Amino acid sequence: METNLKLLQPISLGSYTLKNRIVMAPLTRNRAGAGNVPHAMNVTYYQQRASAGLIITEATQISPQGMGYPNTPGIHSPEQVAGWQRITEAVHAQDGRIFLQLWHVGRISHPSLQPNQALPVAPSAIAPDGMAATYEGEKPFVTPRELETEEISGIVEQYRQAAENAVAAGFDGVEIHSANGYLLDQFLHDGSNQRTDQYGGSIENRVRLLMEVTEAVTRVWGSERVGVRLSPSSSFGNMSDSDPTALFSYAIAQLNRFGLAYLHLVEPRIAGNVTLETNEGLGAKYFRPLYTGILITAGAYTRETGEAVLRANEADLVAYGRLFIANPDLPKRFALNAPLNPYDRNTFYGGDQGGYIDYPFLENQQLKTA
């Protein structure tokens, strides 16, 4: 067994000591039950992967308005809180740590998914390109409704209440999803935010909502149990900005003052669930000198490239997505340098236990071949 891998070394994260530096990345799987409630199959899925140093859950809508995809879990009803509580108890029984990712999709939704068939909300009335996923199949995105200035405090309250619900559900902390073209990311970028009030125009104004949400969530949890996820180079969800370097340098400098559990950065080679050839852009290596706290990097890492980024001190932890889907015992496989199960893209989103909780553990494979 490999004992010198930095990936397998413990690390302090706020008040916690994580058993390794391998993070299970947030992964939308579209397998929540009726009412967007986590159910028994989801309990098994997360419990299987509790050997991660930290699990960050799939993106979880903070309100009915925040929903953008079928069968994604929420954290706004008593039933959802109870469903997540069964998951946190199962992960803790395996000596795991788990943070809930807080999500509002903004314009990446469709009236058929919204309360009373309402328009999705956004910083500005600008429709994204592409198709929305609905219960009736793909439909063109609609032009969203621009949030009124006086409504924005209500969005902050949705995050605050969701953070309270996450406490009740037994999580170890929360991650604020401000990446990948969803609501908080839409406010950051001037391609999607053309407001003229205090939430638009200058970089300081466009970053304002993220700061207000972070302030509200840290008042619930304490800063040391809150993380923030950003994707500075991603165009997923039609994101664009006239000066992303200045935008994200400012945002990250402002996040420094909170003393967060971590900052989680999506590398430029990731666009949605697709790996690009390039690694040019704004990732962990660029922002390492600017951010004073713990840094998680996510971006199609392997055992070798994840180890290399830690050895180079470009990040403190490495998040794995697709490899964790197919290998519930990923840390053990890394420790033994054992073969990895291949993942099946066809079962990433929706369906039953196939491609979800039926990937084999290493010991079961070894027994079959013995």
Residues 42 and 53: their CA atoms lie apart, in Å, by 19
Is 270 a residue whose pLDDT tops 90? no
Q: Which residue from 278, 261, 266 is spatially nearest to 318, judged by alpha carbons?
A: 266
Number of alpha carbons in the 13 Å side-chain half-sphere of residue 290: 19
Distance CA 105, CA 289 (A): 30
Looking at the predicted structure, is the pLDDT value of residue 276 above 50?
no
Give the domain ranges of the chain: 6-369
pLDDT at 363: 84
Torsion angle, alpha carbons of 108, 109, 115, 119, to 10: 80
| Structure confidence by residue, pLDDT tens digits, 8-27 | 999 999 999 999 999 999 99
pTM of the entire structure? 0.95
pLDDT at 357 > cutoff 90:
yes
CB 32, CB 57: distance < 8 Å: no
370: pLDDT confidence band, cut at 50, 70 and 90?
Answer: very low
For a pLDDT cut of 90, what percent of the chain falls above it? 91
Q: Residues 75-96: pLDDT tens digits?
A: 999 999 999 999 999 999 999 9
Q: In the structure, what pLDDT confidence band is assigned to residue 285 with cuts at 50, 70 and 90?
A: very high
349 is catalytic: no
* For residues 269-273, average pLDDT: 55
Instruction: Indicate whether 176 pLDDT > 70.
Output: yes
Q: Which of 182, 199, 250, 286 is catalytic?
A: 182
Report how far residue 110's alpha carbon sits from residue 144's, in angstroms, rounded to the nearest whole number: 9
- Cα separation of 127 and 140, whole Å? 10
Looking at residues 290-314, what average pLDDT do you find? 97
Q: Which CATH number is 6-369's, of 3.30.70.1430, 3.30.300.30, 1.10.260.40, 3.20.20.70?
A: 3.20.20.70
Distance of alpha carbon 204 from alpha carbon 78, whole angstroms: 36
